[in-house]
Amino acid sequence: MEVWRIARFPSVDFLKDVGIGLAIGMLAGTTGTHGSARGRMTILAAVIGVIVGFLIDGGLGAILGLVGAVGGCLVISDVVSGASRREGSGAGALAFFVSLAALVVAAIALLLPVAIIVVILLLLWLGISRHRRAQRKHAGLRVLR
């Protein structure tokens, strides 16, 4: 048991809070809302992230849960919203798979918090690539003005 305490990294325990926040945000983002409804859903995810983070780790956990929930909700709601515009009713399957992925992220956060770094990088990549794609799509329209 002593070896486990020595090998444990207490400085990365904050990743658990971020991971739980990401899972909360991903679940909230499965609604695929946009506009003001997206803002309200993000606020709801933020409040839940703050409460859960505070219950897990206090003040720092509340802040990290907030950041994770907001980030996860913004990226995932953009993905699900875009899929629902293209596919129509087929986006329900995507929302289901995202919900399963959120449960996996929560399990990873509780069992192996260091692996949350990979999840954060994947969500960052997804958000940045969708933003770049949207910029390229509308670049031609800006030239016509």
Mean pLDDT (whole number) for 32-36: 75
pLDDT value at residue 71: 93
| Alpha carbon distance 109, 40 (integer Å) | 26
Residue 3: pLDDT band (50, 70, 90) is very low
| Alpha carbon distance 28, 32 (integer Å) | 9
- What's the pLDDT tens digit per position in 103-128? 999 999 989 888 999 999 999 999 89
| Alpha carbon distance 21, 63 (integer Å) | 10
pLDDT value at 6 more than 50 = no
The closest of 52, 68, 60, 76 to 126, measured between CA atoms, is 76
Q: Would you say the C-alpha torsion 83, 84, 89, 95 has a positive or negative sign? A: positive
Q: Please give the distance of CA 80 from its chain centroid, rounded to a whole number.
A: 12
Q: Where are the domains of the chain?
A: 11-143
CB count in 10 Å sphere of residue 31: 18
Geometric angle at alpha carbon 127, from 69 and 98, rounded to 5°: 60
pLDDT value at residue 83: 76
Q: 6-10, 109-113, 139-143 — which is least confidently predicted?
A: 6-10
